Amino acid sequence: MIAEARKAVDALALDLEWIELPWGTEHFHAHGTMMPPDALEIARQHDAILLGAVGHPSVPDHITLWGLLLPLRQGLDLYANIRPARLLDGVPSRLEGRPPVDMLFVRENTEGEYAGVGGRAHQGLDLEVGIETSVFTRAGVRRVVEHAFELAQGRRGVLTSATKSNASRYGYVLWDEVVEEVHEAHPDVTVERVLVDALAARMVSHPSSLDVVVASNLFGDILTDLAAVLQGGMGMAASASVGAEKIAMFEPVHGSAPDIAGQGIANPLGAIWSASLLLDHLGEADGAQRLMRAVESVCREGVLTRDVGGSATTSEVGDSVAARV
């Protein structure tokens, strides 16, 4: 996926240097860790990271993700995970009547249900317990909600906040309060509070009623898989993890799909779309737009992998995007 994204970006002939960091499961098997101990310092020497999906059946997923993806998101304090979900022309819809889909998810990216707080006791015994604690901080919620308000201002001026503050009575209630506070500073944006279960239903029943959605880490994770399917499939979905520092990280939303590894059939458009978000972050707005227009044009022409109804291979799609660029 990343090779295809690089190919497409390189076709723009921008003044840009790639540094490849071979971190992941192979690194784990060779060195015992997913990435080197000074990974965060290394990362900070760059302007942006384009990250390929990590994970392989030879290593338990929680070891993989807590050894690479989550320490990068959390250690670089990339607190907002931005995930556009737009159904492009030419990509088959999974919904009857092909309702338009153009949502923008803002997922909290460093705390909530992913805080990594918890533990296990009485291991191996019948009374064994596993505790996973969600952590919501006022400052942590405020910064991501502010980001979402700003994005809503630049779009339809409508923000939907997803919580579960009926059954959960601490973290999400705090979340709702912070949304109200931040709303006072952005009175031009209309805010609606929707419980996450109802929101999941509405995404399918009335997708065009939604624009910018802000959600906690776990809810954002779940809703954006659903959103990915509404835009054609997991292979289409892109994301940007941004924070207060200059560095940001861009990754397709899909996983590593070991079941089809090496077959050349996976969809590179989520990775290429992520590269377009990366270029925007680097201040290359023109390149970002040209790349996105090339993606839109291959979709319209039907140069698509089989997950989205086509028969092209991974590299045929990448080549087509690069050619149109």
Query: Taking a C-beta distance cutoff of 8 angstroms, is the pair 252, 239 a contact?
Result: yes
Give the max Cα distance, the chain: 61
- Nearest 5°: the CA angle 182, 47, 242 is 20
The answer to the question of residue 251 lying near Mg ion (CB under 5 A) is no
114 noted as active-site residue: yes
- Give the integer Cα–Cα distance in Å for 214 and 160: 6
Shortest separation between residue 56's beta carbon and Mg ion, angstroms:
17
Interface positions, 96-115, toward ligand IPM (CB under 6 A): none
Shortest separation between residue 170's beta carbon and ligand IPM, angstroms:
22
3-class DSSP assignment, residue 119: strand
Query: Taking a C-beta distance cutoff of 8 angstroms, is the pair 212, 104 a contact?
Result: yes
Q: Among 10, 197, 246, 286, which one carries the catalytic annotation?
A: 197
Q: How many residues bind Mg ion (CB under 5 A)?
A: 1
Q: Which is nearer to ligand IPM, 172 or 250 (CB)?
A: 250
Pick what 194 binds: ligand IPM, Mg ion, none; C-beta below 5 to 8 Å, kind-dependent.
Answer: none
Among 69, 78, 103, 227, binds ligand IPM (CB under 6 A): 69
**Tokens 């978000």 label which residue?**
277
The answer to the question of residue 222 lying near ligand IPM (CB under 6 A) is no
The answer to the question of residue 4 lying near Mg ion (CB under 5 A) is no
Residue nearest Mg ion (C-beta atom):
221
Among 21, 40, 63, 65, binds ligand IPM (CB under 6 A): 65
Q: Which is nearer to ligand IPM, 103 or 189 (CB)?
A: 103
Q: Among 7, 164, 280, 307, which one carries the catalytic annotation?
A: 164
Neighbours of 245 (CB within 10 A): 11
Shortest separation between residue 190's beta carbon and ligand IPM, angstroms:
28
The answer to the question of residue 221 lying near Mg ion (CB under 5 A) is yes
79 noted as active-site residue: no
- Give the integer Cα–Cα distance in Å for 29 and 59: 9
Q: Which is nearer to Mg ion, 255 or 283 (CB)?
A: 255
Q: Could you tell me the sign of the dihedral formed by the alpha carbons of 292, 293, 298, 302, in that order?
A: positive
The answer to the question of residue 113 lying near Mg ion (CB under 5 A) is no
- Give the integer Cα–Cα distance in Å for 321 and 207: 28
Token representation of residue 281? 């972050």
Q: Which is nearer to ligand IPM, 148 or 253 (CB)?
A: 253
The answer to the question of residue 221 lying near ligand IPM (CB under 6 A) is yes
Q: Which is nearer to Mg ion, 65 or 158 (CB)?
A: 65
Pick what 321 binds: ligand IPM, Mg ion, none; C-beta below 5 to 8 Å, kind-dependent.
Answer: none
Among 253, 266, 275, 294, binds ligand IPM (CB under 6 A): 253
Beta strands in the chain (DSSP E): 48-50, 80-86, 102-108, 112-121, 129-135, 158-163, 190-195, 212-215, 238-242, 248-252
Q: Which is nearer to Mg ion, 307 or 319 (CB)?
A: 307
3-class DSSP assignment, residue 282: coil
Q: Among 7, 114, 280, 319, which one carries the catalytic annotation?
A: 114
Pick what 173 binds: ligand IPM, Mg ion, none; C-beta below 5 to 8 Å, kind-dependent.
Answer: none
Q: Which stretch binds Mg ion (CB under 5 A): 87-95, 145-153, 155-163, 217-225?
A: 217-225
Measured CA to CA in angstroms, residue 78 lies from 46, 62, 247 at distances of 14, 20, 8
**What is the DSSP track for 11-54?**
TT--S--------SHHHHHHHSSSS-TTHHHHHHTSSEEE----
Which residues sit at the interface with ligand IPM, rule CB under 6 A? 65, 69, 221, 253
Where in the sequence numbering do the catalytic residues fall?
A: 114, 164, 197, 221, 225
